[in-house]
Amino acid sequence: MTRREFLKAFVFLWSFLSLKEDSNAEGKNEQLHEAMFWRRVEDG
């Protein structure tokens, strides 16, 4: 097995582990209500 294959396996493992976290990022109980006291910043 070459080093590249090893790397691939590592990336696979990592994505597997981080998958869990992503799925958890869902389901935020946020409710949007327009804020008071703010302004648009002009470009430049």
Which of 9, 11, 14, 15: binder of other proteins (CB under 8 A)? 9
Quote the CA–CA distance of 15 and 8 in Å, as a whole number: 11
4 binds other proteins (CB under 8 A): no
Residue 24 structure tokens: 């958890």
Query: In a 3-state reduction of DSSP, which class is residue 14?
Result: helix
Q: What is the rounded CA–CA span in Å between residue 29 and residue 3? A: 44
Structure token digits, residue 31: 């409710």
Q: How far is the CB of 30 from other proteins (least distance, A)?
A: 4
- Binding residue for other proteins (CB under 8 A) from 7, 11, 15, 41? 41
**List of residues contacting other proteins (CB under 8 A):** 1, 5-6, 9, 13, 16-17, 20-21, 24, 28-43
